[in-house]
Amino acid sequence: MGGPYRNSRGPGTPGRQSPVAVRPEGPGCAGTTPPAEALSTAPEMSYPAPRFGDVSKRWSADDVWALAPDTPSRKAAAKVARPASWPVRCMRPTDGGGGPGGTEVLWGECAGSGAQPYLAAVHLSAPDSPAYRCSCPSRKFPCKHALALLHLWAEHQVDEAAEAPEWVADWLAQRSAAAERRDTAADPKASTRRAQRREERIADGLAELELWLRDQVETGLAGARDFGYGRWDAMAARLVDAQAGRVADRVRDLSTATAAPDWPGRLLAEYALLRLLTTAYRHRDNLPAPLRATVRARVGLASAPEESVHDTWDVLGRHDFPAGQVRGRRFWLRGRGTGRTAMLVSFAPRGRTPESPVRVGTAVDAEVAFHPAEWRAAVVARHAEHHGGPPAAETVDEALEAWAGALAADPWLEAWPVVLGGAVIGRDGGWWLGEPSGAALPLHADSSPPWRLAAACGGEPATVAGEWTPRGLRPLTVWACGDRPVALA
């Protein structure tokens, strides 16, 4: 299985791949061949990945609906998710475990309005699972049929079968072949040349950005609010041309920053961090390796996972965010044994759901492969999944200290996971989350007032996981009464 690159649709349907784990770098790149450097240092992994007995539970209906790209899709899927609509609905168990509920693949035939039934299948046991396939023309991904099929499976409404029909077997074979192709990458010399050319183009783009920043500060930021979107978009477009996609997103997002009441400070901080990034990129060859990796990641150069860590990972929380033209989703994981923090990120175009390899509130016994920067990681082998209970908590002081340490490694860091135990909501002008000692963190404006958190815990002390950001804490998950995890997003 080839490193970070994820293909959720299978090679049989070009252009319908879901770009996950590797960020789509600029328009038109989503779903094309991955950059070679993403593949060069793939860790040794077999396919299909899980080699150990897997005791993962079958998912609940909630988990299934969380995969829906939007609410209308969920409603549409709920309508189709009736056994009567599925004359054929089957699952094949994995050979020796793996896959949630020991399921390798699901397939079914859904009677639609046409003469031909829609053929839907979901591959559950691969490291990049779930992967979907459906013969319907829907542009939603996963489509309502795939979701409905998963729902029926979650409700134990599918039959077990030893043999998959030909179309399912073909699809699995294609997926397996594609995964192997990705493992044996193309000509290494050519890819090195390509990578070099790209780094140079990025350098040119960043030099232009630096001049632009210089001009802004020389003439003064006071007029920036009246720019409209055009000024930033033009700069962002040049950065897209220079293949510095992530910097382009950051510049484009500046237009929204001016809407906030504290916009001058936010704009200056962003400009300053962009300047820091251009300087760091120029000197990248002289930086220590970890910082160099961070700088490369921050400009949008893809990396491959390097180090694989086996642990039981508490899934602390999930946050969805807009990222340029696509939607992003990140999960924060913390290892029970190693104490390490991992961030799983995935992206999807509008109308599709970013991949959800883990579920909030569970503890996953898994091997997680770390990229060299940003605590970014990917699940490469999942052995078991438990109902986690509240994760180990830290004090506010410890959390801020960890944040400071993380900033030292990555000054561009925007969010860092925090788990507070016995946390209570405070109100003092703004909204806060405090701990028994009385120390408190202010909540992020987007999370204020924290109605869902307040409703779930009722003002009683609870374990709360969230993201600390320069603009305050964003609560993501609360373990309230009975230690039931409630996702707050």
344 vs 375: CA distance, rounded Å: 8
CB 420 → another protein: shortest distance, Å? Answer: 11
Q: Examine residue 279 and tell whether it contacts another protein (CB under 8 A).
A: yes
For residue 310, the cross-strand partners are 367
Among 88, 203, 237, 273, contact with another protein (rule: CB under 8 A): 273
Among 29, 66, 88, 111, contact with another protein (rule: CB under 8 A): 111
Judged by CB under 8 A, the chain residues 408 through 437 that form the site for another protein are: 408, 411, 424-428, 430, 432, 434
Q: Examine residue 283 and tell whether it contacts another protein (CB under 8 A).
A: no
CB 271 → another protein: shortest distance, Å? Answer: 6
78 CB burial (10 A radius; 0-12, 13-18, 19+): middle
Q: Examine residue 276 and tell whether it contacts another protein (CB under 8 A).
A: yes
Structure-token match 């000024």, residue found: 231
Q: Examine residue 265 and tell whether it contacts another protein (CB under 8 A).
A: yes
Q: Examine residue 479 and tell whether it contacts another protein (CB under 8 A).
A: no
Q: Examine residue 101 and tell whether it contacts another protein (CB under 8 A).
A: no
441 vs 473: CA distance, rounded Å: 7
Q: Kindly state the tokens that stand for 327.
A: 């939607």
CB 452 → another protein: shortest distance, Å? Answer: 5
Q: Kindly state the tokens that stand for 424.
A: 């209570």
Q: Examine residue 309 and tell whether it contacts another protein (CB under 8 A).
A: no
448 vs 456: CA distance, rounded Å: 15
Candidate ranges 90-98, 230-238, 356-364, 401-409; the one touching another protein (CB under 8 A): 401-409
Q: Are the C-beta atoms of 419 and 339 separated by less than 8 Å?
A: no
CB 428 → another protein: shortest distance, Å? Answer: 4
Q: Examine residue 486 and tell whether it contacts another protein (CB under 8 A).
A: yes
How are beta strands 159-160 and 88-93 bridged, if at all?
parallel
CB 49 → another protein: shortest distance, Å? Answer: 31
Which of 315, 334, 298, 357 lies closest to 21 in space, CA to CA?
Answer: 357
Closer to another protein by CB, 84 or 289: give it. Answer: 84
Q: Examine residue 208 and tell whether it contacts another protein (CB under 8 A).
A: no
Q: Are the C-beta atoms of 100 and 111 separated by less than 8 Å?
A: no
Q: Are the C-beta atoms of 418 and 341 separated by less than 8 Å?
A: no
Q: Examine residue 459 and tell whether it contacts another protein (CB under 8 A).
A: yes
How are beta strands 430-434 and 416-428 bridged, if at all?
antiparallel
Among 12, 32, 51, 62, contact with another protein (rule: CB under 8 A): 62
Candidate ranges 20-28, 109-117, 311-319, 331-339; the one touching another protein (CB under 8 A): 109-117
DSSP secondary structure of 3-58 = TT-B-SS-TTSTT----BSSPP-STT-TTSPPPGGGTTT-----SS---S---PPP
Q: Examine residue 69 and tell whether it contacts another protein (CB under 8 A).
A: no
Q: Examine residue 84 and tell whether it contacts another protein (CB under 8 A).
A: yes
Closer to another protein by CB, 65 or 232: give it. Answer: 65
Q: Kindly state the tokens that stand for 298.
A: 């921050």
Q: Are the C-beta atoms of 20 and 6 separated by less than 8 Å?
A: yes
Q: Are the C-beta atoms of 27 and 188 separated by less than 8 Å?
A: no
Q: Examine residue 452 and tell whether it contacts another protein (CB under 8 A).
A: yes
Q: How many residues touch another protein (CB under 8 A)?
A: 68
Q: Kindly state the tokens that stand for 294.
A: 């961070």
Neighbours of 257 (CB within 10 A): 18
Among 88, 136, 195, 268, contact with another protein (rule: CB under 8 A): 268
Q: Examine residue 402 and tell whether it contacts another protein (CB under 8 A).
A: no
End-to-end CA distance of the chain: 32
Candidate ranges 41-49, 184-192, 341-349, 440-448; the one touching another protein (CB under 8 A): 440-448
* Residues near another protein (CB under 8 A): 61-62, 65, 71, 74-75, 78-79, 82, 84-85, 111-113, 210, 213-222, 264-265, 268-269, 271-273, 275-276, 279, 396-397, 400, 403-404, 407-408, 411, 424-428, 430, 432, 434, 438-442, 449, 451-452, 454-456, 458-460, 470, 480, 486
